[in-house]
C-alpha cells in the first residue's frame, strides 16, 4: 500500500518528475535493432519517458536519436528526409548527422553558422539487439552497462517486445511475484508437461505450489528475492533480481527484462533470452519460444500489443473485456487469454492505466512487491539527497537470476554469491 | 525564441486573455458564404476565439450570428428551425430575427416582454464570399476593413476554409517565412531540383513558383499602418537584378502571398487556442476554378481534407499521408500540395508550439517581427492604446513578386501600403 503522493512519485516519469530524473540517469533501451532494419531507411517516431524522439539509421549503419522538434523552428523531424549522412528537416532544409553535427543550413548565408550550433541528438549505443540511449545530463553520463548476453552472436539470442497500455511499475510487479504463476498461468504451465523446451522444464514445477516461501533482500543494484517450493527431499529455489530502475533478471537464468516507460500510461516490455551453447535465435526454436509465451507477432497484434496496434481496437481494454475469450474459458482454459504475456498484461492493464495503490491489500506473498516500491522510492530519495544512485555503480555483468535445487537446510544465497546484500534489511515469511 | 510567458501571452485567445482582448477589436470571418448556401439553409455552429456561436441565413438571405445557446434556457440554437424570417429554438419555440429581435415567445406571449428583450446577436457583414462578425465591445466597433478580394468579381475568386488542429500563430509564422518556400515546397518552387537544374515553374496560379533557386533570401522589413510588410530579396541569373517578393502581415493574423497571376489572401482565424480556421481567398484578373486551387493545395483527397466540414483530417496516424517511396523518387516532402505541406509542418510543431527552445536565424526576421508586433499590441492595449490597423482600409494591400534592379526601392513596388513614420 502506498499513499497517493508516494504512488505518483514512483510512477510518473515525465521531465522534471522525481522518478523521471532517476530514469534519466540510466542507459535505457529505446527500441530494438530490428525496428531500424536498413541503413538509410525511414526515420521512426519513438516515445520515451513522456518525450518524443525520432530514430534513424544512417547509410553507414550508425543510429541517431533526435529530439522530435527541429532545432530551428520546432517542426517534426519525423517528417524529415532520410539522406545518407543525416536527417534533413523538410521545412527549411537544415540537416543533422546522427551525432548532432549540423551539416547544412540552406537559409543561413554564413558558412560558420553551422559550426557554432549543434543538433539535439542523444548518445546512442547498439548492443544485444537493442538500441540504447541516455537522456540525462551530459556531465552525468554513466558508463555503458554490460549485461551477460550482450556479447553473444545474434543467433544465440531472442529479442522481443510487447507494448502494454499501463504504467511501467504494474508490469514490473508481475515480474517479482512468484505466487501468481501457479494460478494465473495454470493453463500455460500445464502445457509444460512433457515439453522439451528449456523454458518449460524450468517452470513446470510451479504448477503445484501456490504458496511458496518468499524472502527478499536489498542489494546494491536493487533487490533480489527467492521463492522456495518443496521438491521431494530437497527444495527448489527461484531467485529473481530487480535492477533499478526497470530491469529484471528472471530466475530461469536465461531471460532478462526491461520495462521501459513510454509515458506514464504505457510501457515497452523488452524480453531477451540467451543461450551460449544453442542458437536459440534461429528457427524453429525462436518462433517456438515466442509463440509459447504469446510474443509471436500474430498474438501480439491480436491483443494490440505491438507499436503498430497499441492504439487500435484490439488493444486490451475495458471496452473489449481485455480480449478475454469466455468460450475458451468455459471449455477448460483457466483464463481465456492467449498465453503468459496476455494473461500478465490483462492483470496489469485492468488495474488501471496508472493504478491507485492506496486501497490495495498486500499479503506476505507480496513481500517482493512492497520491496519493489521501497527500492523505487529509495532511488528517488537517494538522487534528491546525494545526487547519485547506488545502482548506477553495480556490476551488471554479475547480476543473476537463478533457479536450482538446494538442500533442506542450505542457504539459498549460495546461488547468488556475487550479489552485494545490504546489511540487516532482510525480510522473510511463508505465504499463508 | 520566446519565453513561455510571452508565448502564452500572444497564443491564448479565449475571453479575458490579453491576446483575446486584442483580437476582439477586429472583424473576423466566422464562415464562408457557401456554408450558408441558400435562404433558410441549415444553421451552422461556429467557434471563434474560444466561444461558440450559431450562424444562419434567414428567408430573405440575411445572415445572423448569435451566441450558440438560446437566451431562454440555453438549448443550442444550432438545433433550431430556420424559417419565416428567423431562427426558432426547438425547445420552447422562441424565435429571433438576424438582428436579435424577439419575434415570438410562445410560452410567454406578451409583446411587451419581447420588446424589452434582445437576443445576443452580433454585427455581421457578408463580403467577398465570407461572413464576418464583430464580437468585441460595442462601443469600440470599428469600420469594416475591406480586403482587396472583396472587390473582385466572384468568378475571379475562390474562397476556401481549412480547419486545422493547432494554434493560429504557428500557421501565421509559416506565412511570414519566405525562406521555407524554396525548401518545403521544393517540387513547386524548384521543379528541376532532382537533377540540380533550376527550371522555373510555369504555373501562373502557384504561389510557390519562385523565379530563382536562391535559398538564402535577404529580408527587409518596414512597419505599415496595417502591421508591416517585408521583402525577400533573392539573387537572380541576371547581374544587377534581384527577385523581390513583398508580403504583408496584417494584424492580427492576415497575409497576402503572390502567385504569378493571382493573390492568395490567407487569414488564420483562431477558433480557440488549439484550433484554427484558415481562410484562403484566391483572386485575380481572370476566371479561376475552385477545383484548380483545391488540387494545387493538395486538398483533393478525402483522406486529408473533408470538404463537407472544411476540415484538414490528416494526422500522425498515417504521418499526414507522407509517402516515403515517393520521397526517394521525385517528391521532396512525400506530401501533396502547398497547404498539406504547410499544415503538416504546423501540426508537427504540436497543438500549441513552445517557442522557448528554438534557434532563429536572420531569415526568420519576419517571424520575429510578427511576434513583436503582437506582443506590443497586447502590452499597449493594457496601457489603453488601441491595437494597430483596427478599421484600416485594406483594399490596396497586396503582395508582389517582381524583378528589382539594384538601387531601386522595393517599397515602391506596393504604393498602396502606407508606411508608418519612422521614429527618430
A381 and A260 in a common domain: yes
At which residue does the C-alpha cell 475495458 appear? A318
- DSSP notation for A56-105: EE-TTS-EEEEESB-TTT--BGGG-EEETTEEE-TTT--EE-TTS-EEE-
Give the one of A73, A82, A108 whose C-beta lies nearest to B216's C-beta. Answer: A108
A401 and A296 in a common domain: yes
Q: Which residues of A touch B344 (CB under 8 A)?
A: 79
Distance CA B139, CA A219 (A): 73
Residue B423 has pLDDT above 60, yes or no: no
CATH fold for the domain made of B36-126: Rieske Iron-sulfur Protein (2.102.10)
Q: Which residues of B touch A42 (CB under 8 A)?
A: 324
B117, three cell numbers: 428583450
Assigned domain for A298 exists:
yes
Residue A201 has pLDDT above 60, yes or no: yes
Q: Which residues of B touch A54 (CB under 8 A)?
A: none
A144, three cell numbers: 555503458
pLDDT category at A206 given cuts 50, 70, 90 is: confident
Residue B70 has pLDDT above 50, yes or no: yes
Question: Residues A246-304: pLDDT tens digits?
Answer: 999 999 999 999 999 999 999 999 999 999 999 999 999 999 999 999 999 999 999 99
- SS3 state at A347: helix
Residues 307-326 of A with CB under 8 A from B: 311
Q: Where are the domains of chain B?
A: 36-126, 148-413
A244 and A165 in a common domain: yes
Question: Residues B229-268: pLDDT tens digits?
Answer: 999 999 998 999 999 999 999 999 999 999 999 999 999 9
Distance CA A306, CA B67 (A): 46
Model confidence, pTM:
0.87
pLDDT at B284: 96
Average pLDDT over residues A61-76: 96
Residue B329 touches partner A, C-beta closer than 8 Å: no
Question: Residues B274-308: pLDDT tens digits?
Answer: 999 999 999 999 999 999 999 999 999 999 999 99
Assigned domain for A297 exists:
yes
Query: Is B358 in Cβ contact with A117 (below 8 Å)?
Result: no
- Contact between B404 and B242 (Cβ < 8 Å): yes
As a whole-number percent, the residues of chain B with pLDDT over 70 amount to 99
Q: Which residue pairs, CB below 8 angstroms and at least 24 apart, start in B109-114?
A: none
Residue B364 touches partner A, C-beta closer than 8 Å: yes
Give the one of A74, A81, A82 whose C-beta lies nearest to B349's C-beta. Answer: A74
- DSSP notation for A405-432: EE-TT--GGGG-TT--BPTT--EEEE--
The number of residues making up chain A comes to 432
pLDDT at A430: 45
ipTM computed for the complex: 0.83
Q: Which residues of A touch B320 (CB under 8 A)?
A: 79
Query: Is B367 in Cβ contact with A93 (below 8 Å)?
Result: no
Q: How much is the mean pLDDT over chain A?
A: 93
Question: Residues A124-145: pLDDT tens digits?
Answer: 999 999 999 999 999 999 999 9
Residue B366 touches partner A, C-beta closer than 8 Å: no
Residue B344 touches partner A, C-beta closer than 8 Å: yes
- Contact between B156 and B332 (Cβ < 8 Å): no
A76, three cell numbers: 517534426
Going from the C-alpha of B77 to that of each of B50, B60, B89, B101, the distances in angstroms are: 18, 19, 6, 15
Give the one of A79, A91, A108 whose C-beta lies nearest to B322's C-beta. Answer: A79
Q: Which residues of A touch B358 (CB under 8 A)?
A: 69, 71-74
Residue A425 has pLDDT above 60, yes or no: no
- Domain of A57: which CATH number? 2.102.10.10
- Contact between A396 and A29 (Cβ < 8 Å): no
Nearest chain B CA: its distance from A157 CA (Å): 32
- Contact between B83 and B71 (Cβ < 8 Å): no
Query: Is A73 in Cβ contact with B184 (below 8 Å)?
Result: no
Assigned domain for A6 exists:
no
Question: Residues A231-248: pLDDT tens digits?
Answer: 889 999 999 999 999 999
Query: Is A74 in Cβ contact with B354 (below 8 Å)?
Result: yes
- Contact between B86 and B58 (Cβ < 8 Å): yes
Average pLDDT over residues B76-90: 95
Residue A181 has pLDDT above 70, yes or no: yes
pLDDT at B420: 82
pLDDT at B424: 41
A297 and A420 in a common domain: yes
Strands A222-231, B227-235: pairing is unpaired
Taking one residue from A and the other from B, the number of pairs with CB-CB distance under 8 angstroms is 87
Cα distance from N-terminal residue to C-terminal residue, chain A: 19
To test the contact with chain A by mutation, choose from B177, B298, B322, B345 the residue with the greatest count of A C-beta atoms within 10 A, namely: B345
Question: Residues B161-171: pLDDT tens digits?
Answer: 999 999 999 99
DSSP state of B69: B
Give the number of domains in chain A: 2
Average pLDDT over residues B197-204: 88
A89 and A211 in a common domain: no
Assigned domain for A12 exists:
no
Residue B55 has pLDDT above 90, yes or no: yes
Distance CA A410, CA A231 (A): 14
Residues 299-318 of B with CB under 8 A from A: 316-317
Residue A109 touches partner B, C-beta closer than 8 Å: yes
- Domain of A291: which CATH number? 3.90.380
pLDDT at A179: 80
pLDDT category at A111 given cuts 50, 70, 90 is: confident
- Contact between B137 and B158 (Cβ < 8 Å): no
Nearest chain B CA: its distance from A308 CA (Å): 10
CA B410 to chain centre: 25
Total Cβ atoms within 10 A of residue B195: 8
Q: Which residues of B touch A82 (CB under 8 A)?
A: 324, 327
pLDDT at A431: 40
- Contact between B5 and B370 (Cβ < 8 Å): no
A347 and A306 in a common domain: yes
A366 and A314 in a common domain: yes
Residue A429 has pLDDT above 90, yes or no: no
A184 and A125 in a common domain: no
CA dihedral B208, B209, B212, B218 (to 10 degrees): -30
- Which neighbouring-strand residues pair with B266? B255, B280
Residues 126-185 of B with CB under 8 A from A: 173, 179-180, 182-184
Q: Which residues of B touch A79 (CB under 8 A)?
A: 319-320, 322, 333, 335, 344-345, 348
As a whole-number percent, the residues of chain A with pLDDT over 90 amount to 83
Residue A210 has pLDDT above 90, yes or no: no
pLDDT at A145: 95
Can you point out the beta strands (E) in B197-240? 218-224, 227-235
Closest chain A CA to residue B173: A73
More confident residue, B111 or A198: B111
Assigned domain for A5 exists:
no
Helix (H) or strand (E) holding A20: helix A18-23
Residue A75 touches partner B, C-beta closer than 8 Å: yes
- Contact between A130 and A29 (Cβ < 8 Å): yes
CATH 3.40.50: does it fit domain B148-413?
A: no
At which residue does the C-alpha cell 535577404 appear? B218
Residue B404 has pLDDT above 50, yes or no: yes
A387, three cell numbers: 545526487
- Contact between B31 and B388 (Cβ < 8 Å): no
pLDDT at B422: 58
pLDDT at A1: 87
Query: Is A93 in Cβ contact with B183 (below 8 Å)?
Result: yes
Rg (CA), chain A: 22
Residue A286: CB partners within 8 Å, gap ≥ 6?
A158, A280
Total Cβ atoms within 10 A of residue A252: 18
Q: Which residues of A touch B7 (CB under 8 A)?
A: none
Residue A400 has pLDDT above 90, yes or no: no
Residue A427 has pLDDT above 80, yes or no: no
- SS3 state at B22: helix
A82 and A184 in a common domain: no
Assigned domain for A18 exists:
no
A268 and A135 in a common domain: no
Q: Tell me the residue range of the domain where A113 lies.
A: 29-140
Can you point out the beta strands (E) in A197-265? 213-219, 222-231, 234-243, 247-249, 255-263
Average pLDDT over residues A303-315: 96
Query: Is A91 in Cβ contact with B345 (below 8 Å)?
Result: yes
Give the one of B183, B215, B317 whose C-beta lies nearest to A91's C-beta. Answer: B183
Alpha helices in B44-135 (DSSP H): 111-116
A164 and A134 in a common domain: no
Assigned domain for A16 exists:
no
pLDDT at B117: 92
Peptide bond into A284 cis (omega under 30): yes
Distance CA A354, CA B25 (A): 45
Closest chain A CA to residue B354: A74
A103 and A204 in a common domain: no
- With CA atoms as reference, report the closest residue to B49 among B336, B354, B276: B276
Domain limit, last residue, from A140, A166, A196 = A140
pLDDT at B196: 86
Domain limit, last residue, from A108, A140, A172 = A140
Closest chain B CA to residue A119: B359
Amino acid at each position: 500500500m502506498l499513499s497517493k503522493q508516494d504512488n505518483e512519485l514512483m510512477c510518473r516519469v515525465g521531465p522534471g518528475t522525481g522518478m523521471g530524473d532517476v530514469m534519466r540517469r540510466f542507459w535505457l533501451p529505446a527500441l530494438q535493432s530490428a525496428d531500424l532494419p536498413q541503413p538509410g531507411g525511414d526515420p521512426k517516431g519513438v516515445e520515451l519517458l513522456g518525450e518524443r524522439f525520432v530514430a534513424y539509421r544512417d547509410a553507414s549503419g550508425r543510429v541517431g536519436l533526435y529530439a522530435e522538434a527541429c532545432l530551428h523552428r520546432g517542426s517534426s523531424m519525423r517528417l524529415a528526409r532520410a539522406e545518407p549522412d543525416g536527417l534533413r528537416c523538410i521545412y527549411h532544409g537544415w540537416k543533422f548527422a546522427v551525432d548532432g553535427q549540423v551539416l547544412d543550413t540552406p537559409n543561413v548565408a554564413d558558412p560558420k553558422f553551422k559550426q557554432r550550433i549543434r543538433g539535439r541528438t542523444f548518445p546512442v549505443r547498439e548492443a544485444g539487439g537493442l538500441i540504447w540511449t541516455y537522456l540525462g545530463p551530459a556531465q552525468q553520463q554513466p558508463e555503458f552497462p554490460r549485461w551477460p548476453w550482450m556479447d553473444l552472436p545474434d543467433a544465440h539470442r531472442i529479442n522481443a517486445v510487447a507494448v502494454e497500455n499501463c504504467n511501467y511499475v504494474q508490469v514490473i510487479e508481475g515480474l517479482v511475484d512468484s505466487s501468481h504463476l501457479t494460478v494465473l498461468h495454470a493453463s500455460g504451465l500445464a502445457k509444460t508437461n512433457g515439453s522439451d523446451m528449456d523454458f518449460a522444464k524450468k517452470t513446470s514445477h510451479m504448477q503445484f505450489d501456490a504458496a511458496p516461501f518468499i524472502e527478499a533482500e536489498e542489494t546494491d543494484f536493487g533487490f533480489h528475492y527467492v521463492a522456495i517450493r518443496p521438491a521431494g527431499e530437497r527444495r527448489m529455489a527461484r531467485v529473481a533480481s530487480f535492477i533499478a530502475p526497470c530491469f529484471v533478471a528472471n530466475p530461469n537464468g536465461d531471460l532478462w527484462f526491461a520495462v521501459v516507460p513510454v509515458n506514464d500510461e504505457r510501457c515497452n516490455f523488452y524480453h531477451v533470452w540467451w543461450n551460449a551453447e544453442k542458437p536459440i535465435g534461429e528457427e524453429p526454436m525462436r518462433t517456438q519460444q515466442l509463440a509459447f509465451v504469446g510474443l509471436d507477432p500474430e498474438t501480439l497484434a491480436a491483443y494490440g500489443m505491438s507499436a503498430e496496434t497499441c492504439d487500435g481496437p484490439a488493444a486490451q481494454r475495458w471496452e473489449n473485456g481485455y480480449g478475454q475469450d469466455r468460450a475458451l474459458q468455459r471449455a477448460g482454459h483457466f483464463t481465456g487469454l492467449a498465453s503468459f504475456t496476455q494473461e500478465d498484461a490483462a492483470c496489469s492493464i485492468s488495474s488501471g492505466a496508472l493504478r491507485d495503490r492506496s486501497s490495495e491489500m498486500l499479503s506476505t506473498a507480496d513481500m517482493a512487491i512492497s520491496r519493489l516500491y521501497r527500492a523505487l522510492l529509495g532511488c528517488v530519495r537517494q538522487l534528491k539527497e546525494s545526487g547519485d544512485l547506488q545502482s548506477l555503480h553495480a556490476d551488471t555483468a554479475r547480476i543473476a537470476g537463478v533457479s536450482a535445487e538446494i538442500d533442506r537446510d542450505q542457504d539459498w544465497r549460495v546461488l547468488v554469491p556475487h550479489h552485494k546484500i545490504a546489511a540487516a534489511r532482510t525480510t522473510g515469511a511463508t505465504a499463508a | 525564441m520566446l519565453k513561455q510567458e510571452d508565448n502564452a501571452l500572444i497564443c491564448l485567445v479565449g475571453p479575458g486573455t490579453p491576446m483575446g482582448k486584442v483580437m476582439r477589436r477586429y472583424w473576423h470571418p466566422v464562415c464562408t458564404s457557401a456554408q450558408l448556401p441558400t435562404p433558410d439553409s441549415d444553421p451552422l455552429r461556429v467557434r471563434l476565439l474560444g466561444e461558440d456561436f450559431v450562424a444562419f441565413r434567414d428567408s430573405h438571405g440575411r445572415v445572423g450570428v448569435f451566441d450558440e445557446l438560446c437566451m431562454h434556457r440555453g438549448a443550442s440554437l444550432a438545433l433550431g428551425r430556420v424559417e419565416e424570417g428567423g431562427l426558432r429554438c426547438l425547445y420552447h419555440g422562441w424565435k429571433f430575427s438576424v438582428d436579435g429581435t424577439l419575434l415570438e415567445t410562445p410560452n410567454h406571449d406578451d409583446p411587451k416582454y419581447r420588446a424589452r428583450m434582445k437576443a445576443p446577436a452580433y454585427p455581421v457583414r457578408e463580403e467577398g464570399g465570407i461572413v464576418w462578425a464583430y464580437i468585441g465591445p460595442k462601443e469600440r466597433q470599428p469600420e469594416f476593413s475591406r480586403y482587396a478580394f472583396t472587390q473582385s468579381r466572384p468568378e475571379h475568386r475562390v474562397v476556401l476554409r481549412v480547419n486545422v488542429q493547432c494554434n493560429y500563430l504557428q500557421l501565421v509564422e509559416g506565412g511570414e517565412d519566405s525562406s521555407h518556400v524554396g525548401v518545403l515546397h521544393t517540387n513547386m518552387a524548384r521543379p528541376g531540383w532532382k537533377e540540380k537544374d533550376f527550371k522555373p515553374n510555369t504555373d501562373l496560379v502557384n504561389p510557390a513558383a519562385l523565379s530563382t533557386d536562391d535559398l538564402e533570401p535577404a529580408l527587409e522589413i518596414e512597419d505599415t499602418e496595417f502591421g508591416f510588410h517585408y521583402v525577400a530579396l533573392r539573387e537572380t541569373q541576371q547581374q544587377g537584378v534581384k527577385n523581390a517578393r513583398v508580403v504583408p502581415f496584417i494584424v492580427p493574423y492576415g497575409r497576402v502571398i503572390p502567385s504569378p497571376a493571382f493573390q492568395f489572401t490567407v487569414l488564420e482565424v483562431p477558433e480557440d487556442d488549439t484550433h484554427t480556421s484558415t481562410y484562403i481567398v484566391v483572386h485575380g484578373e481572370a476566371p479561376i476554378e475552385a477545383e484548380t486551387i483545391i488540387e494545387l493545395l493538395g486538398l483533393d483527397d478525402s483522406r486529408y481534407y473533408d470538404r463537407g466540414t472544411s476540415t484538414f483530417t490528416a494526422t500522425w496516424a498515417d504521418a499526414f499521408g507522407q509517402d516515403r517511396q515517393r520521397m526517394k523518387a521525385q517528391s521532396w516532402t512525400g506530401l501533396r500540395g502547398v497547404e498539406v505541406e504547410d499544415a503538416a509542418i504546423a501540426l508537427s510543431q504540436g497543438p500549441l508550439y513552445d517557442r522557448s527552445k528554438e534557434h532563429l536565424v536572420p531569415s526568420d526576421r519576419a517571424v520575429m517581427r510578427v511576434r513583436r508586433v503582437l506582443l506590443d499590441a497586447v502590452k499597449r492595449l493594457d496601457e489603453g492604446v488601441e491595437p494597430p490597423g483596427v478599421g484600416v482600409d485594406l483594399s490596396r494591400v497586396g503582395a508582389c513578386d517582381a524583378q528589382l534592379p539594384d538601387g531601386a526601392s522595393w517599397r515602391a513596388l506596393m504604393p498602396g501600403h502606407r508606411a508608418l513614420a519612422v521614429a527618430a
